[in-house]
Amino acid sequence: MPPIAPSAGTFSGPSATALARAMRARRAACALAMALLGGLALTAPAPAESSNQILVLVNDEPITAYEMEQRQRLIGLSADVGSYIRDNAKKRWESIVKNPKINEEFRAFAVKRNPKSKEDLQKIQQEFVKGKQKVMMDQLQQEARSRALKGTDKMALKELVEERLKLQEAKRNNVLATDEQISKIITGIASRNKMNEEQFAKHLAGMGVDISTMKQRFRASISWNEVVRRRFGYQISITERDVERFVDQEATVDDGSAGTEVSVQRVVLAATSLDQKAMAERLAVAEQIRQKFAGCKSTEKVAKSFGATFEDLGSRSAGSIPDPARTMLLGAKEGQMIPPNVGADGVEMWVLCGRKQSASAGKTGAPGAGGGAPSEKDERRQKELEILAKRHMKDLRQDATIDCRADAKSGLCQAL
């Protein structure tokens, strides 16, 4: 099929009569589908039997396969997805652009929006490209997290067993963390990711994690800190800052952009058409620019030698840069030009010239202090605290009845 070229006025495509027939057929099909599914609409699908399987009983409290899967997904959130995306984004995007059916897909996409002018068509093209990029990024992130989940089942189950013991001990000592305490922590994490708690819950759900899984992890951790405070308070001074430091360490669930400022440059090769040949030519020129690139000081000269637009964007929040550029920049080294991607203005190449954490990010300090690095005394106290906590957990495990019911072939029981 010949490439689509922007044009004013009418847009080449199916006739109005044909489109009307297609719309009537689609409405009829939808009506039929709703009629057939009407009786099922109120019935939620039953969970898979394997998800309800009890893997372990900890003092008669069950841990299910679903809980282990959710914990694996939560652990996977801290995986380095940036490297996988950076290594695969360029090749994946090129395969999308070079797909022989791309023009046909765009034509169908544009016809539905009925462009009236060249400007309309260009806006539709940008919307189409952004949609393709979003789907690609979602797929790459899902692939990266799926790879990160491999081999985490034993780690997740062991963590869940210890959490049960921590919560049981907290209940015996009447120091179980309250819903208000947990909500405060979640709200703080959501705020650092520029979301409210409800938005954050949806964000996690989009990555396959129920927010209750994260809440349970924090409840066990905060409760356990209070158990240790009560039990060993006469031996060691445990402050609220110890709790805050733990939360800071555990709360990294964003893509790394929160609190990160990057100094960047951008080179743009204008592209007014999604035509396969034209895009291939632009990507080829982009690769030539990358080969000539020799550091941030060379960017402007190299860009202009190929007729590209150069912008020194200075320092800005990483979160303000759209994906896929943001993810690749976060995984790049300083002085590196990331692989080209298609943006609203054409083929873009971003350069990372510097990176730093904002003043409000990652602050740690001595108990009662307003900031700064922890003192040697604080670090020694923290190590002593960890040793005492581990000893107490060892005692709890020895006294507990842990009945593992997982399949022997899985190796899960041996890991406990």
- Residue 265 and residue 299 in contact, taking contact as beta carbons nearer than 8 Å: yes
- Output the domain CATH number for residue 188: 1.10.4030.10
CA atoms within 13 A on the CB side of 31: 6
- What confidence score (pLDDT) does residue 230 get? 83
Is residue 225 assigned to a domain? yes
Same domain, 266 and 331: yes
Same domain, 185 and 271: no
Same domain, 226 and 247: yes
- Return per-residue pLDDT of the chain as tens, 416 residues: 344 333 333 333 343 344 344 444 444 444 333 333 333 333 333 343 477 899 999 999 999 999 999 999 888 877 767 778 878 888 888 888 888 888 889 989 989 988 888 888 888 888 898 888 889 988 888 888 788 788 889 999 999 999 999 999 999 999 999 999 999 889 888 887 788 999 999 989 988 899 999 999 999 999 998 898 888 765 655 555 555 555 555 444 444 555 678 999 999 988 666 566 666 778 788 888 988 999 999 999 999 999 999 999 998 888 778 767 777 788 788 999 988 877 667 788 899 999 887 654 444 443 333 444 556 766 777 777 788 889 999 999 999 999 999 998 889 999 88
Q: Which domain holds residue 384?
A: 151-254+374-415
Same domain, 223 and 165: yes
Same domain, 385 and 242: yes
Phi, psi of 230 (to 5 degrees): -70, -40
Contacts of 141 (CB under 8 A, 6+ apart): 81, 85, 207
DSSP state, 375? P
Is residue 281 assigned to a domain? yes
Same domain, 267 and 341: yes
- What confidence score (pLDDT) does residue 35 get? 36
Helix ranges (H only) for 293-349 are: 299-305, 325-330
- Residue 278 and residue 357 in contact, taking contact as beta carbons nearer than 8 Å: no
Nearest to 366 by CA among 386, 381, 383: 381
> Pick from 307, 327, 357: which residue ends a domain?
357
Same domain, 216 and 250: yes
- What confidence score (pLDDT) does residue 229 get? 81
Coil, helix or strand for 349? strand
Same domain, 204 and 239: yes
Is residue 1 assigned to a domain? no
Same domain, 237 and 385: yes
- Output the domain CATH number for residue 341: 3.10.50.40
Is residue 61 assigned to a domain? no
Q: Which two tokens stand for residue 261?
A: 């400022």
Q: 25 burial class (0-12, 13-18, 19+ CB within 10 angstroms)?
A: exposed
- What confidence score (pLDDT) does residue 2 get? 41
pTM above 0.75, yes or no: no
Same domain, 236 and 270: no
Domain count, the chain: 2
Is residue 247 assigned to a domain? yes
Is residue 277 assigned to a domain? yes
Is residue 66 assigned to a domain? no
- What confidence score (pLDDT) does residue 199 get? 92
Q: Which two tokens stand for residue 278?
A: 């034209």
Exposure b/e, 137-171, CB count within 10 A at least 16 = b: beebbeebbeebbeebbbebbebbbbbbbbbbbbe
Is residue 79 assigned to a domain? no
- What confidence score (pLDDT) does residue 357 get? 75
Long-range contacts of 398-402 (CB under 8 A, 24+ apart): 400/58, 400/59, 400/165, 401/57, 401/58, 401/59, 401/60, 402/56, 402/57, 402/58, 402/59, 402/161
Contacts of 33 (CB under 8 A, 6+ apart): none
Same domain, 261 and 243: no
- Residue 305 and residue 292 in contact, taking contact as beta carbons nearer than 8 Å: yes
